[in-house]
Structure 1
């Protein structure tokens, strides 16, 4: 006589997934939608480079230009002086990268080689600054300047003494009040 086989009841397929896998089933479609919403303006700008001026303003949100126009690139490079801007960007990027590499190598050597008071704190501060992009700080200052109509660049930083005379004799400036 054969023994009857014990069968376990079949569970639905979804419940067999682990909890992180179920969370991924919810998060992935949401992230795809958010990604498309974020990438669309970039694609629209790239497509706009190939449109004529009238096509750009009358084309709406379409990505494909009615008439492909490559003259925009020539006008930007020659007429608008983009070649000079491009050279300045390359020069700035190379020089700042070399300087930053040199400073980082010196700092890394000192931090790894020597024990000194405040070393752990300094290390933590260096790591913390890696997570704050400088571009976001500049964007906040520009937005603040736009909202308040206050020249932040001339009143703060080491260049304020250059733009307003000697620091001790320059009057203290306050942001103007806005009537909103």
Structure 2
């Protein structure tokens, strides 16, 4: 007699049942995360608007008539738009000569800062010598000294060297390391580079100069770019140093030439010309930053990885 086989038991797929408490916790966590991001974006947006208001006011005032600049209530859109303010401001003084003076000082100081800060930073990052850490800390401590404190002693040094009314006091300082902040920036970035790359170059017969120029400098390009942007901004916008060391009008920089637009005892300030020249001076820095924004941020952020 043939035996009858029993039908196999059918198993239903188990449903994934999450605990109610875990589901509620995850939902609350996601809600808090979205809320925190929304708050951060709102704060950043408000901060961006606050920081943009002075620039928008400067741009708007550069296209206004003098009577509209301080009008109540404020006039944000000029009527009519006076593009001629830029032409009048540029031709009121020899700003073409001032522009070339500014470009010369800026490029010379920027190149000196980049090369010398990289050279000194490489020494602090790679060479071991007695008192290295102490000298580095001493160098960083000079950053706590306000510029105004060293102004008079520095002026006396340049005067004794008969270098007043020349461009030398404006750029020679960059030849002595480029400043503590730039040295710190380069040193911190170079510490992130593995020593094995230099050791391999030593084995291949490279000398110190070849290692520095062909290996180190290409690898620290973001830091070099960051130093270059900071230097460009510092020299391009510098007003106090040219005011102290330059006395002949043909040697003036653009920022120093703008000082004449503030008027005198018997002359009202020409705010529309001043805002027009301020807008023109700000354009190169904005263009440079937006073009090299990615590398600039990378160069600044990577300096804190290794100490």
TM-score (norm 1): 0.60
Distance verdict in 2 for CA 1:2–1:95, change over 3 Å: closer
Q: How big is the shift at 1:40?
A: 0.5
The answer to whether structure 1 residue 17 and structure 2 residue 13 are counterparts is: no
Q: How big is the shift at 1:116?
A: 0.7
Q: Which protein has greater RCO, CA pairs closer than 8 Å, 6+ apart?
A: 2
Alignment partner, residue 116 of structure 2: 103
Number of equivalent positions: 146
- For the aligned residues, what is the CA RMSD? 3.9
Q: Distance in 2 between matches of 1:18 and 1:114?
A: 53
Q: How big is the shift at 1:30?
A: 1.9
The answer to whether structure 1 residue 80 and structure 2 residue 80 are counterparts is: no
Which structure shows the higher helix fraction?
2
Q: Distance in 2 between matches of 1:63 and 1:133?
A: 40
The answer to whether structure 1 residue 160 and structure 2 residue 173 are counterparts is: no
The answer to whether structure 1 residue 41 and structure 2 residue 54 are counterparts is: yes
Cα pair 1:47 1:63 within 8 Å, conserved = yes
Task: Identify unmatched segments of 5+ residues in structure 1.
Answer: 145-151, 164-180
Q: Distance in 1 between matches of 2:83 and 2:141?
A: 44
Q: How big is the shift at 1:36?
A: 0.8
1:91 is aligned, of 99, 104, 127, to 104
Distance verdict in 2 for CA 1:88–1:133, change over 3 Å: farther
Cα pair 1:50 1:69 within 8 Å, conserved = yes
Please say which structure displays the higher CA radius of gyration: 2
Q: How big is the shift at 1:25?
A: 2.9
Alignment partner, residue 50 of structure 1: 63
Task: Identify unmatched segments of 5+ residues in structure 2.
Answer: 1-10, 161-307
